[in-house]
Amino acid sequence: MRIAVVALGKIGLPLAVQFASSGHDVIGVDVNQKTVDTINAGVEPFPGEAHLQERLAELIPAGRLRATTDYSEAIPGADAVVLVAPVFVNDETWEPDFRYMDSATRSLAEHLTRGTMVSYETTLPVGTSRTRFTPMLEEGSGLTEGVDFHVVYSPERVLTGRVFEDLRKYPKLIGALSAEGTRRAREFYEAVLQFDERPDLGQPNGVWDLGTTEASEMAKLAETTYRDVNIGLANQFGLFAASHGIDVYKVIEACNSQPYSHIHRPGIAVGGHCIPVYPRLYLSTDPDADIVRVARQLNASMPERLVAQAEGILGDLTGQRAVVLGAAYRGGVKETAFSGVFPTVEALRSRGAEVVVHDPMYTDEELRGYGFEPYAMGAEADLAILQTDHAEYRDLAPADLPGVKLLVDGRNATDASRWAGTPRIVVGTAA
């Protein structure tokens, strides 16, 4: 097949590589000329994705994969086009921001030809494929969906850093606007993906048809919103437990010892491209989903709550040196999307603290690029807040932070025995 992938980011590029590795001719489109040039040189434009560099080094010289900024070079004559352009959410209004996907869809439509299957993989509000993007494609191309081309929604279900592993592990969900679209989508994904055996599933691992684009859109939103709501519940339990001298981690372990309880862990922040964003995309079409809204608000409030708790213990934070440990949104990943570092730093600065940030995955220059003053381990500190559960922080001790008067472990990642004699508070346990 001849396949085009629109947007060569941390999901789009591995997808393009996966398709090419399965024996197809793939051309990727991206608006960033530097990204395109880097890919065409056989070099990964971002670090950290397992096996990406070695596959690029094979595929690019072989001519199976190339990149361009020109839609007219990639779209005409394609058997399939897969779009993974980003959709964001306005932080203030919580309304979806479609500007990048709208632009990609309009550019695609200008060059769309008969016989192409168009698959949206970016997470979307329910109904968006049918009511927003299909009309754009028809208007821009002069073609008719279901007759001249076919629209499919098939959500990506992978995590950066392990995309190729996850593509094999999880069923590929599809939903189309027509029976022919469903047939085309199944044939396409069965030709570009390979699946692991999953005896734990109720049906064989592979391509699963959910019947409609709306069902497929909702499945992605539901599986991610579930996690946010679950974490919100864990945080609520954690706040209560801490105020009543209860260790919530022992409670959660006890609850999860039977198969009907799957309580997540509490923590200082929920970050990443997915979990903080997709519940708000869901709310954009289901504004009555109060449980989703409250969980999202509670999770977003955790950095402020923990900084306030630290202030209650140390007193006025004005002039005190506060170290935030971890800029990344989760351990072992060099990514700051919706990371808790930003609200944590803001909450400390608003109280007059002198804030510095440490992260073993970032250089001092990179941290300054985010507006942070870098911290060197071993320098003086009054307060430390562990925001990211990097493996490097597991053996952290007071000697690593000379003068530290309080550790706020927002991930329950440190060893309590190492902190004997120095106050240490953890989400979900009594101070």
Give, in degrees to the nearest 5, the angle at Cα 367 between 362 and 372. Answer: 145
Residue 153 backbone phi and psi in degrees, to 5: -115, 125
- CA distances for 222 relative to 30, 68, 272, 365, angstroms: 29, 34, 17, 38
Q: How buried is residue 65: exposed, middle or buried, by Cβ count under 10 Å (0-12/13-18/19+)?
A: buried
CA distance 60 to 80: 20
CA distance 428 to 431: 9
255 is catalytic: no
169 is catalytic: no
Report residue 38 as tokens.
């880097």
CA distance 346 to 231: 22
Q: Which of 10, 34, 169, 220 is catalytic?
A: 220
Q: Which of 10, 250, 255, 274 is catalytic?
A: 274
CA dihedral 188, 193, 194, 197 (to 10 degrees): -90
- Residues in Cβ contact with 250 at an 8 Å cutoff, skipping those fewer than 6 apart: none
- Residues in Cβ contact with 101 at an 8 Å cutoff, skipping those fewer than 6 apart: 83, 85, 86, 87, 120, 122, 124, 133
Q: Whose structure tokens read 């994904």?
A: 189
C-alpha count within 13 angstroms, C-beta hemisphere, residue 69: 8
Residues annotated as catalytic are 220, 274
